[in-house]
């Protein structure tokens, strides 16, 4: 996307990469295709706008987090596909590592240490688990399953490189000159100690991941070199930032306690916790939102894997509607769900604060009077109930006051979703006019680093708000609905298929 000083997208180009899902649990992507598409879209926006590279101030990059691949820095030979955060093949291995004696002892020791010191670092360590979302556990599993590659990797003189998607694209943009990432991406891999800002030797040593294959960690607005691939000039690369962190910045959540929700394939609730890391006693770990000019901003995040993909499933498999946009009118066309509740989860189970990987999606309260409109309304409500789980839990666990949440993402285009979200949260929901806040966040960070925008206040002034939604139901009704929701979740736990 090409963005001007008014924060407007003046040209854009898109490609949809393919997924490789040939075996149970596998979710991979072709690194060559990802790089090819990345190069193509940059070429396309330059050509469509009819500009030269010298007309472009700088470039920022934001990518999906915690997906990784491995390649040879000398030859460019690939040792793996991009193994995405959705890949579940390491699930059994992750459980084995979680229950390994060393990590059991570590959790027990740090639990006692936290009780004595009230240290956030000890609290975080006492909750250490290895879900397959973490690049660390999927990397260790990959190496165990590929002993020849593991042998190469363990050699200190090896030219094998490991990197998240941003690292791979950057390496190609700079023609192999730079092997680096930023703090926001690396903190999402579970291989960085967010307190020391160094590779977490306790984790990676026990998982057999050597540091010499890992990228250099730079500030989010660091110098990532230049790309000389587009025309006669060169474009400075002035930002690399993980997608949800980019969205937080794009929503101008610069202050302690600012919160946003991105509703895309999944729902991501993120809160700016300032210069100090916060941890939730219910297994939310501190992440780095960004590090700009040496100054760290932390965040906490709750995520549900199933939001937009639930709506896609209903469209493709149940054929309740032709276009996802129809769900808004369908939900508004009935006065209520007629008692129907929907728990939005597939095989990922349910995360914070319930933490049950066995939970599966459920529809409750169906009767002979139930119409598809009632089910659609219940599905959209279920998405909002999960967001309330995160918002309420984060507020309870951190003691941070939140009176407003900013919403973005494709599913946030649905007016019914935003109104019910405001109703069930009991707070204002502010919808961004620009749906591409993730791209905007990367642009803002890059542009601020070069003086393209002179200050964060200037960035705030060009951010446009579509609408602010306010609660339309009473507190008693809100509590009644949410208590029923929690009962529905309780009934869905500990599922044992026959």
Whether residue 234 is found in the same domain as residue 257: no
Does some domain include residue 81? yes
Phi-psi region at 475: left, alpha or beta (left = phi > 0; alpha = psi -120 to 50): alpha
**Is this model's pTM higher than 0.85 or not?**
yes
Whether residue 271 is found in the same domain as residue 420: yes
Count of all residues that appear for the chain in the document: 498
Whether residue 311 is found in the same domain as residue 351: yes
Does some domain include residue 468? yes
Q: Which helix (H) or strand (E) holds 19?
A: none
CATH of the domain at 151: 3.30.420.40
End residue of a domain, out of 217, 242, 267: 242
Would you state the pLDDT for residue 347? 74
Whether residue 364 is found in the same domain as residue 425: yes
Give burial (CB, 10 Å; 0-12/13-18/19+) of 133: buried
Whether residue 231 is found in the same domain as residue 379: no
Does some domain include residue 78? yes
Strand-pair category, 267-274 with 259-263? antiparallel
Does some domain include residue 301? yes
Whether residue 285 is found in the same domain as residue 402: yes
Does some domain include residue 448? no
Write out residues in the chain with pLDDT < 50, as ranges. none
Whether residue 228 is found in the same domain as residue 324: no
Would you state the pLDDT for residue 461? 94
Q: How many C-beta atoms lie closer than 10 Å to residue 339's C-beta?
A: 14
Would you state the pLDDT for residue 113? 94
Whether residue 197 is found in the same domain as residue 218: yes
Domain with 42 in it: 17-90+132-242
Would you state the pLDDT for residue 232? 86
Q: How many domains does the chain have?
A: 3
Whether residue 360 is found in the same domain as residue 428: yes
Whether residue 45 is found in the same domain as residue 147: yes
Whether residue 73 is found in the same domain as residue 99: no
Whether residue 325 is found in the same domain as residue 229: no
Would you state the pLDDT for residue 317? 94
């Amino acid at each position: 996307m090409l963005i001007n000083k008014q924060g407007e997208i003046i040209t854009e180009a898109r490609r949809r990469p393919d997924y490789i899902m040939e075996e149970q649990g596998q979710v991979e992507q072709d690194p060559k295709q990802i790089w090819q598409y990345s190069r193509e879209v940059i070429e396309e926006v330059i050509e469509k706008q009819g500009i030269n590279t010298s007309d472009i101030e700088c470039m920022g990059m934001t990518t999906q987090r915690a997906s990784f691949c491995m390649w040879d820095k000398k030859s460019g030979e690939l040792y793996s596909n991009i193994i995405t955060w959705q890949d579940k093949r390491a699930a059994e291995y992750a459980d084995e590592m979680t229950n390994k004696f060393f990590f059991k002892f570590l959790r027990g020791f740090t639990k006692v240490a936290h009780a004595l010191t009230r240290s956030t670092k000890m609290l975080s360590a006492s909750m250490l688990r290895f879900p397959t979302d973490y690049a660390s556990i999927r990397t260790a599993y990959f190496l165990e399953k590929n002993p020849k590659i593991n042998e190469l990797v363990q050699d200190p003189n090896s030219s094998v490189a490991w990197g998240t998607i941003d690292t791979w694209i950057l390496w190609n943009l700079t023609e192999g000159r730079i092997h680096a990432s930023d703090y926001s991406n690396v903190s999402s891999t579970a291989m960085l100690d967010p307190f020391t800002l160094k590779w977490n030797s306790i984790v990676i040593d026990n998982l057999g991941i050597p540091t010499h294959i890992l990228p250099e960690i730079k500030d989010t607005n660091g110098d990532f070199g230049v790309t000389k691939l587009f025309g006669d000039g060169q474009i400075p690369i002035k930002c690399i930032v993980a997608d949800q962190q980019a969205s937080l910045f794009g929503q101008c959540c610069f202050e302690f306690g600012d919160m946003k929700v991105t509703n895309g394939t999944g729902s991501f609730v993120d809160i700016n916790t300032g210069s100090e890391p916060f941890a939730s006693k219910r297994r939310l770990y501190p992440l780095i939102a960004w590090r700009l000019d040496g100054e760290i901003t932390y965040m906490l995040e709750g995520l549900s894997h199933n939001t937009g993909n639930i709506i896609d499933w209903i469209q493709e498999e149940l054929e309740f509607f032709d276009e996802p946009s129809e769900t808004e009118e369908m939900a508004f066309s009935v006065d209520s769900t007629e008692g129907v509740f929907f728990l939005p989860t597939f095989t990922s189970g349910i995360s914070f604060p319930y933490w049950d990987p066995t939970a599966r999606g459920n529809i409750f309260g169906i009767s002979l009077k139930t119409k598809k409109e009632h089910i659609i309304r219940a599905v959209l409500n279920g998405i909002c109930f999960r967001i309330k789980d995160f918002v309420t839990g984060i507020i309870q666990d951190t003691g941070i006051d939140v009176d407003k949440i900013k919403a973005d993402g494709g599913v946030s285009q649905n007016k019914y979703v935003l109104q019910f979200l405001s109703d069930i949260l009991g707070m204002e929901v502010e919808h961004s006019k620009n749906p591409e806040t993730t791209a905007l966040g990367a642009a803002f960070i890059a542009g601020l680093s070069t003086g393209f925008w002179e200050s964060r206040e200037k960035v705030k002034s060009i951010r446009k708000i579509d609408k602010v939604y306010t609660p339309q139901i009473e507190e008693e009704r809100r509590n009644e609905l949410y208590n029923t929701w929690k009962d529905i979740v309780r009934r869905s736990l500990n599922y044992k298929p026959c």
